[in-house]
Structure 1
Amino acid sequence: MDIKETRELLESVKNGSLDIEKALKKLEDLPFKDLGYAKIDNHRELRVGYPEVIYCAGKTVEQVKGIVEFMITKGNNILGTRASKEIYEAVKLICPKAEYNDKARTITIKNKEVETSSTYIAIVTAGTSDIPVAEEAVVTAEIFGNKVERIYDVGVAGIHRLFDRLNVIRQAKVIVVVAGMEGALASVLGGLVDKPIIAVPTSVGYGANFGGLSALLCMLNSCASGVSVVNIDNGFGAGYLSSMINKL
């Protein structure tokens, strides 16, 4: 339940169109619902503006199904990250409108329309191998009501490809840069644009990449200002933060 819905509920009680007992029924699961294996935070959208997201990795198929079954009753849009195809197939059985992005490994269920931002987020990758992490950011940003422009495979090994799309990138309100190996693209873009950059290091690369550590350290040490960094392969975190910035 978000702020708008809570206000409408209280107005309904005030004007007499909803009795107190029915209103209490709607509020009985606030602030959380205890399923035994999970405590679903129904109060989160009211507090921070976005509903709880299901991190599917490490959960059983039955646990994710149980969480989704309850969350559907609240009418919010639902996002599940790091979901296997097996989990998606199980969720699809209880909610036929569930959609799966196999690159991002995300499940989305759209239960209500969210106003889409007039400004957009540019999500940029250095290489094609970085697309799965970028797609997680795309799906996250879109389900929270943001326009997104994808600019993929424009890394520094062929920097002329970046310049070809620079006008689109510069018009974004916030930019997410996804890169592995040495992660140089975030710093390069930081010297070319006047918008905040969220850098996402990926685990793409050979041995000395150390599973994304080299890209993480390079991004943290960017000589260009205006670059912030999220965790390795954390497309969700970048998509969430970019949505907050885009909607300021």
Structure 2
Amino acid sequence: MDIDRLREVLEGVKNQAVSVDAALETLKDLPYHDMGFAKLDMHRHLRTGVPEVIFCQGKTVEQVVAIAKRLTQDHHNIMATRATQDMADRVIAEIGDAEYHELARVIVVKPAPLPEKVGKIAVVCAGTADLPVAEEAAIVAETLGNYVEKFYDVGVAGIHRLLHQRQNIAQANAIITVAGMEGALASVVAGLMDKPVIAVPTSVGYGASFHGLSALLTMLNSCAPGISVVNIDNGFGAGYQAHLINHLSGKRQ
């Protein structure tokens, strides 16, 4: 329930247009809605500006659909991350107004006009194998209301590709770097730019990469200042953090 709806309910009680029992029934979701298998944070958007996001991994299709249905009673642009095609098909069939970004594995339910965009976020991706994580970061940032520019397949093995885009990347207020293998991309970008860099290690690589642990440790141990690191394959976390940084800047394109 948003602030406008809360005011409407209270005004209805005041003017005796709504009974106390009806008002209590409406307000019972304050501060969360108990679905038995999940307690939905219905007021998260009032605290953070973003409604609760559904993490689909480990949930059944039925659970994802039920949560999406309830959240979209009060919100638009509900995101469901790590969603499968089956989940997307069911959400689209039962709710109707939804978009599925297959590579990013993100469903956006009840798409509405995005918030007014400010600034710019650059998503810099090392290789094609890292694209699912990079796309997750990009879709999240775009849905939250940010200009996003993508720079893909610019890993350090062919560093001239990255240097060719240096001036364009430097125009962003926040830079997301996505890389697997040894994860050196974040250090190189941070050493070239005067903007905060959010490093995303991916689980891409041969055996000694340990499913992303090698890239994670490289990024954590970087000698280049200005880097923050999210968890392995956490494109969502990077997109959200970049959104917060970008909106603090308030710079408009």
- What is the TM-score of this pair, normalised by structure 2? 0.90
- Which is worse superposed, 133-142 or 18-27? 18-27
Over 3 Å counting, the alpha-carbon distance change for 1:18 and 1:94 in structure 2 is farther
Distance in 1 (CA, whole Å) between partners of 2:101 and 2:155 is 24
Confirm whether residue 122 of structure 1 aligns to residue 122 of structure 2.
yes
Please say which of residues 233-242 and 75-84 is displaced more in the overlay. Answer: 75-84
Question: Aligned residue for 1:237?
Answer: 237
TM-score by length of 1: 0.92
* TM-superposed deviation, 1:139: 1.1
Aligned to 2:64: 64
Q: What pairs with 1:44-123 in structure 2 (closer than 5 Å)? A: 44-123=44-123
- Aligned partners of 2:61 and 2:87 also within 8 Å: yes
Q: Quote the sequence identity (%).
A: 56
- The aligned counterpart of 2:207 is 207
Aligned counterparts of 2:16 and 2:117: Cα–Cα separation in 1: 33
Gaps of 5+ in 2: 249-253
Q: 1:73 to 1:166 in 2, by over 3 A?
A: same
Report if the CA contact (8 A) 2:198-2:242 is conserved.
yes
Residue type at the aligned position of 2:134: A
When structure 1 is superposed on structure 2, of 124-133 and 9-18 the one drifting more is 9-18
Deviations 1:192-221 (A, max 9, x none): 101000000001111100000000000001
For 1:163 and 1:64, locate their aligned partners in 2 and report how far apart those are by CA, in whole Å.
42
TM-superposed CA distance for 1:49, in Å, is: 1.9
Give the CA deviation at 1:117. 2.2
Aligned residue number for residue 221 of structure 1: 221
Taking only aligned residues, the RMSD between alpha carbons, in angstroms, comes to 2.1
Instruction: State the shift of 1:114 in Å.
Output: 3.3
Cα 1:194/1:110, change in 2 over 3 Å: farther
CA distance in 1, matches of 2:172, 2:166: 10
Q: 2 CA distance for matches of 1:47 and 1:23?
A: 22
**Is 2:2 the partner of 1:10?**
no
Establish whether residue 156 from structure 1 lines up as the match of residue 156 from structure 2.
yes
Q: Which amino acid aligns with 2:50?
A: Y
Q: Secondary structure at the match of 2:52?
A: coil
Distance, in Å, in 1 between the alignment partners of 2:100 and 2:241 is: 22
Aligned to 2:104, what secondary structure does the other structure show? Answer: coil
Residue 167 of structure 1, CA deviation: 1.3
Return the letter of the residue paired with 1:231.
N
Question: 2:251 aligns to what?
Answer: none
- The structure-2 alpha-carbon separation of the partners of 1:173 and 1:62, relative to structure 1 and needing over 3 Å to count, comes to same
Residues in 2 aligned to 1:171 and 1:25: alpha-carbon distance in whole angstroms: 50
Gaps of 5+ in 1: none
User: Is this contact kept in 2: 1:13–1:19, CA < 8 A?
Assistant: no
> What amino acid maps onto 1:35 in structure 2?
M
Q: Please give the per-residue CA displacement for 1:65-101, whole angstroms capped at 9, x wherever unaligned.
A: 1111111211332100111111111111112221111
SS class of match (2:118): coil
Q: Deviations over 1:20-66 (max 9, x none)?
A: 55765553322111111111110111122211000111111111111
1-side partners of 2:99 and 2:59: how far apart? 19
Shift of 1:120: 0.9
Which range is displaced more, 151-160 or 40-49? 40-49
Cα distance in structure 2, aligned partners of 1:18 and 1:188? 65
Question: Matches of 1:100 and 1:11 in 2, distance apart?
Answer: 34
2:54 corresponds to which letter in structure 1?
Answer: I
Q: Is the 8 A contact 1:12 1:18 kept in 2?
A: no
Is 1:32–1:39's contact at 8 Å kept on the other side of the alignment? yes
The equivalent of 1:143 in structure 2 is: 143
Give the stretch that moved more between structures: 138-147 or 202-211. 138-147
**C-alpha distance in structure 1 between counterparts of 2:179 and 2:226, whole Å:** 17
Letter in 2 for 1:10: R
